[in-house]
Structure 1
Amino acid sequence: MKISILTVGDEILIGQIVDTNSAWMGQQLNLTGARVVTIITVGDTMEAIHTGLREALEQADVILMTGGLGPTKDDITKKALSEYMGVDMVFHELTFQRITKMFEVWGRPMNEAHRLQCYMPANAEILTNKMGTAPGMWMEYAGKVIVSMPGVPYEMQYLMENEVLPKLRQKFQGQPIAHRTILTVGEGESHIAEKLEDFEEGLPEGFKLAYLPHIAQVRLRITGSLADEATLHRILDEKAEIIRSRFADIIYGFGTDTLEGAIGVMLKERGLKLATAESCTGGYLAHRITSVAGASDYFVGSVIAYANEVKMQVLGVSAATLDTHGAVSEQTVIEMAEGAVKVLPADIAISISGIAGPGGGSDTKPVGLAWIAVSNGQKTRTFSIRAGKDRDKNIQYFTIHALNQIRQFLKQL
């Protein structure tokens, strides 16, 4: 089954919003055995929508459209569809009744625009949208399927999961596709690939390994396709286990796990509390840790010691250490981490100090240098890293390595 995704909206073309709908649909469709062949974005004009439809229909069996179904005058997708297919617009009474009840529950009056929203192309099968007023539409035209859905992400996702994907599976019987995603941190893509060369060569027909690098992290995705779904999953599990056994030290999770989530699990299992003492990351490390629901079970707080005065007065870093070694040094982060364990009710603290850039570096301490320390008061582990000159990327890079140092420290307890 070949799919074209057609998104409608000037707001996407001018960069006002990012098209996350296409990425989400692509992920879901891939799991059904479908192949997305094009993603097209067009503006809110009849000509643009007709041009997009023509191009999509030439290349795919199914066109999935999002956007342009609202009650305002710029929402013209339905009219564009009816004109392109040469069918009339008809009033859909059941949709009108459903919207009327929704407004009654909300305690708000309907207006004429909402009544006009109930006109649909005559050949449309209505897909009930329980998340909003605009229904989805399933249409068959010239031997192809055209599906139109709202552009609001949670409304589109509801329709895809509850209406569109089940109908597509029923109409197009495809061979199942499945994935196993292994998440690694702290090792480069090329080094991992070198160690997996024999693994890739030994993969059965219909299976492949993809490397998906991000900042200081690499996702390894094994994809397979077989008619026998049970055999497909068995082989994927076996191959994922081989990778897990080879890279146990750098693997922190699978699928949709996060590094900060994995650390949270480790802290809860050990009954430990964590704190951070941050300079160059300015609280971003604490933000990542607290982005996990339930982080209050194990995270107690942070000291953002950006100025040397805060390092000394709050964390107890000595003036002699700063004078002799500087703020970005192994000695300073050791005292920051050990000080954080004392001043905060934490069992473990991590500290970080670096030069995020783009200025402030020197020959001996260039932009992109950072020192990290993790301590429980008795044992302290230090680590230095070098990044580039981009400030935002450096902060993210430092933070990922800091999270990984917490993980490594906990593994040794």
Structure 2
Amino acid sequence: MQVEIITIGDELLIGQVVDTNSAWMARELNKAGMFINRITSVSDGEEEILNAIREAASRSTIVLLTGGLGPTRDDITKAALCKYFKTQLVFNQQIMDDVETFLKHRVGHINQLNKDQALVPEKCDIIRNPVGTAPIMWFEESGLIVVSMPGVPTEMKHAMENEVIPRLKAKFTNGIVRHRTVHIFNIPEAVLAEMLSDWEDQIPAFLKVAYLPSPGKLRLRISGKGENAQQIESAIENAIKLLYPLVKENIFGFDDEKPESSLLNLLFSKDKTISCAESCSGGLMSHLITSVAGASNAFMGGVVAYSNNLKYNLLGVDSTSIEKYGAVSREVVEQMAKGACKRLGSDYAIASSGIAGPSGGTDEKPVGTVWLAWSDGEKVISRSFNFGNNRERNILRTAEAGIIIMKQLLERGTL
């Protein structure tokens, strides 16, 4: 069984709207044991939609469409489907009743465009949409299933979770699909692949390994498919056990776990608090931590000490250290971390100072040079990095590295 997804809308192709629908659909279908063969985005043109359906139907069993079902002139998915399935639009009273019920307290009157939502292709099964006005249309012909859903994410998700996926699971016998993702910090993709070459040879052939890199970190996804869930899960867990000795020091999480969440959970378990003293990361480290619900139970606060005066006055950094070593230095960032513990009253602190770019670098300290420090108020550990010459990436990598290494230090009992 092969599944294809087609997302429809000019807004997707000009970058006005990011296509989150296909990513969510692919993830949920994969959980149900279905594999996505291809994802295509097309414009609001009848021929473009028709061609996309024809091509998908030539290689897939199931084609799922989102978008182009609204009441305006540019919503022409229904017309394209009528052409493909050689049928016509007919009035459906049940859908009209649903539209009237849905809009009753939302609009002053129901106009002709709203009424046209009740026109649906004659050769399809209609699935009612309790969270919108456009119905879901299920076509089935010569072994091909085509399902058309609204592009509004809440409507699409409701249809997929409550109707489409349950119907597909009832109709097809799917295999078992399982994934585990290991998050690895600060090992380049090519280096990691070389390190894990023998490990990949050791694991069962029915497991597939994918390397998914991003700046400063990498997701190593281990996937298995088959008929026996216990066998697949056991094989994946055994593969992770074999992986641990090779990269244990660089593993910072699993699956959907975020570094800031796992750091806070660790602090909660120890009944400890943390604060941040940030220069080049500009408050992003504090933002990531406070984006987690319940962060106030461990996060005391943060200081964005961008200027040297604030480093002196808020964090107690010795002015002679900046004059002698510069603001981007081991000596200054260590004082910032200690100062944050003292001034903000936290058990631990993370501090950052660097040259985010694109200007400001020197031969000794090029753009991308960053110092990070972690302290418990007395002891302090610091490390230098060079994150390259992209300002936005430098800021993100600084914030994430500060959080990830803080978690590792606490886990090892180094602080």
TM above 0.5, one fold? yes
Alpha-carbon distance between aligned partners in 2 of 1:14 and 1:49, rounded to the nearest angstrom = 17
Alpha-carbon distance between aligned partners in 1 of 2:215 and 2:308, rounded to the nearest angstrom = 29
Aligned-pair distance for 1:105?
4.9
Q: Which residue of 2 aligns with 1:328?
A: 328
CA deviations on 1:83-112 (whole Å, 9 max, x unpaired) are: 221112122222222232222354754332
Alpha-carbon distance between aligned partners in 1 of 2:242 and 2:104, rounded to the nearest angstrom = 57
Alpha-carbon distance between aligned partners in 2 of 1:94 and 1:248, rounded to the nearest angstrom = 59
Q: Kindly indicate whether residue 174 of structure 2 is the aligned counterpart of residue 174 of structure 1.
A: yes
Write the mapping of 1:197-208 to structure 2, written as runs, cut at 5 A.
Answer: 197-208=197-208
Alpha-carbon distance between aligned partners in 2 of 1:238 and 1:159, rounded to the nearest angstrom = 37
Write the mapping of 1:14-413 to structure 2, written as runs, cut at 5 A.
Answer: 14-106=14-106, 109-244=109-244, 246-411=246-411, 412=413, 413=415
Aligned-pair distance for 1:333?
0.5
Alpha-carbon distance between aligned partners in 1 of 2:360 and 2:274, rounded to the nearest angstrom = 30
3-state SS, counterpart of residue 117 of structure 1: helix
Matched-pair contact (CA < 8 Å) for 1:180–1:236 = yes
Opposite residue 296 of structure 2, the aligned amino acid is S
3-state SS, counterpart of residue 237 of structure 2: helix
3-state SS, counterpart of residue 327 of structure 1: coil
3-state SS, counterpart of residue 346 of structure 1: coil
Alpha-carbon distance between aligned partners in 1 of 2:188 and 2:32, rounded to the nearest angstrom = 31
Alpha-carbon distance between aligned partners in 2 of 1:277 and 1:120, rounded to the nearest angstrom = 60
Matched-pair contact (CA < 8 Å) for 1:381–1:409 = no
Aligned-pair distance for 1:7?
1.3
Cα separation, partners in 2 of 1:111 and 1:345, compared to 1, 3 Å: farther
Gaps in structure 1 of 5+ consecutive residues: none
Aligned-pair distance for 1:65?
0.5
Aligned-pair distance for 1:245?
5.2
Matched-pair contact (CA < 8 Å) for 1:276–1:340 = yes
3-state SS, counterpart of residue 169 of structure 2: helix
3-state SS, counterpart of residue 81 of structure 1: helix
Aligned-pair distance for 1:156?
1.3
Alpha-carbon distance between aligned partners in 2 of 1:345 and 1:109, rounded to the nearest angstrom = 60
Q: Kindly indicate whether residue 5 of structure 2 is the aligned counterpart of residue 5 of structure 1.
A: yes
CA deviations on 1:233-278 (whole Å, 9 max, x unpaired) are: 2222222333245433322222111011111101111111111111
Alpha-carbon distance between aligned partners in 1 of 2:401 and 2:157, rounded to the nearest angstrom = 34
Higher mean alpha-carbon deviation, 372-381 vs 193-202, is at: 193-202
3-state SS, counterpart of residue 232 of structure 1: helix
Matched-pair contact (CA < 8 Å) for 2:85–2:123 = no
Matched-pair contact (CA < 8 Å) for 1:64–1:146 = yes
The two structures have a TM-score, normalised by structure 1, of 0.95
Opposite residue 166 of structure 2, the aligned amino acid is P
- CA-based RMSD of the aligned residues comes to 1.7
Alpha-carbon distance between aligned partners in 1 of 2:128 and 2:242, rounded to the nearest angstrom = 45
Aligned-pair distance for 1:410?
1.7
Alpha-carbon distance between aligned partners in 2 of 1:378 and 1:108, rounded to the nearest angstrom = 67
Cα separation, partners in 2 of 1:244 and 1:160, compared to 1, 3 Å: farther
Alpha-carbon distance between aligned partners in 2 of 1:382 and 1:276, rounded to the nearest angstrom = 14
Matched-pair contact (CA < 8 Å) for 2:368–2:386 = yes
Higher mean alpha-carbon deviation, 201-210 vs 8-17, is at: 201-210
3-state SS, counterpart of residue 175 of structure 2: coil
3-state SS, counterpart of residue 310 of structure 1: helix
Alpha-carbon distance between aligned partners in 2 of 1:350 and 1:324, rounded to the nearest angstrom = 23
Higher mean alpha-carbon deviation, 326-335 vs 67-76, is at: 67-76
Opposite residue 59 of structure 1, the aligned amino acid is R
Alpha-carbon distance between aligned partners in 2 of 1:264 and 1:107, rounded to the nearest angstrom = 46
Matched-pair contact (CA < 8 Å) for 2:102–2:130 = no
3-state SS, counterpart of residue 247 of structure 1: helix
Matched-pair contact (CA < 8 Å) for 2:99–2:117 = no
Matched-pair contact (CA < 8 Å) for 1:186–1:404 = no
Cα separation, partners in 2 of 1:198 and 1:79, compared to 1, 3 Å: same
Alpha-carbon distance between aligned partners in 2 of 1:135 and 1:240, rounded to the nearest angstrom = 45
Alpha-carbon distance between aligned partners in 2 of 1:297 and 1:110, rounded to the nearest angstrom = 50
Matched-pair contact (CA < 8 Å) for 2:252–2:408 = no
Aligned-pair distance for 1:196?
2.3
Aligned-pair distance for 1:366?
0.6
Cα separation, partners in 2 of 1:121 and 1:286, compared to 1, 3 Å: same
Alpha-carbon distance between aligned partners in 2 of 1:206 and 1:32, rounded to the nearest angstrom = 18
Alpha-carbon distance between aligned partners in 1 of 2:212 and 2:130, rounded to the nearest angstrom = 36
Aligned-pair distance for 1:177?
1.6
Matched-pair contact (CA < 8 Å) for 1:182–1:219 = yes
Matched-pair contact (CA < 8 Å) for 2:8–2:41 = yes
Alpha-carbon distance between aligned partners in 1 of 2:286 and 2:319, rounded to the nearest angstrom = 26
Alpha-carbon distance between aligned partners in 1 of 2:345 and 2:370, rounded to the nearest angstrom = 26
Alpha-carbon distance between aligned partners in 2 of 1:231 and 1:409, rounded to the nearest angstrom = 35
Aligned-pair distance for 1:408?
2.3
Higher mean alpha-carbon deviation, 324-333 vs 43-52, is at: 43-52
Opposite residue 78 of structure 2, the aligned amino acid is K
Aligned-pair distance for 1:198?
2.2
Alpha-carbon distance between aligned partners in 2 of 1:121 and 1:107, rounded to the nearest angstrom = 26
Aligned-pair distance for 1:6?
1.3
Aligned-pair distance for 1:387?
1.4
